[in-house]
Amino acid sequence: MVWHKILNYDYDPSVDALYIQVEDHQNPKAIPLNDNVIIDFTKEGKLTGLEILNTSYVLNTTVESLKNITSIDLIVKVTEYQILVNAIFTLDIHNHSEFKITNTTVINDNNIPTMDAKLATA
């Protein structure tokens, strides 16, 4: 299943955390993909969001530059065996665009249903 969606996001510089909301859902199941990336699903396995802790570290940039995110492209692919997250951030820094990327792949040991989602901010 391939689906496209417009994302909402919120960056909190006081804790250097970014939350990308896919769907509004109460009490999603948080699945850590690594120490800094957490993906949220409903009990039925529907993607609801992605959180990046220590965002400036993960993206190798500054907290100040993360206040200038102009777009986010997010690809989430879940197979029977793995979860892949690829996020590309466009930041407006000193009158030019910079691209920052993070990729994470883990074993799908939470039995998340397969999906192939391409998501982006407006």
Domain ranges of the chain: 2-121
What is the C-alpha separation between 103 and 74, in angstroms, rounded?
10
The whole-model pTM stands at 0.89
Residues 82/55, Cβ–Cβ less than 8 Å: no
pLDDT at position 120 is: 85
Alpha helices, H only, the chain: 55-58, 63-66
Question: Quick one: DSSP state of residue 113?
Answer: P
pLDDT in tens, 53-102: 999 999 999 999 999 999 999 999 999 999 999 999 999 988 899 999 99
Instruction: For the chain, give the percent of residues with pLDDT over 70.
Output: 94
Q: Is a pLDDT exceeding 70 seen at residue 32?
A: yes
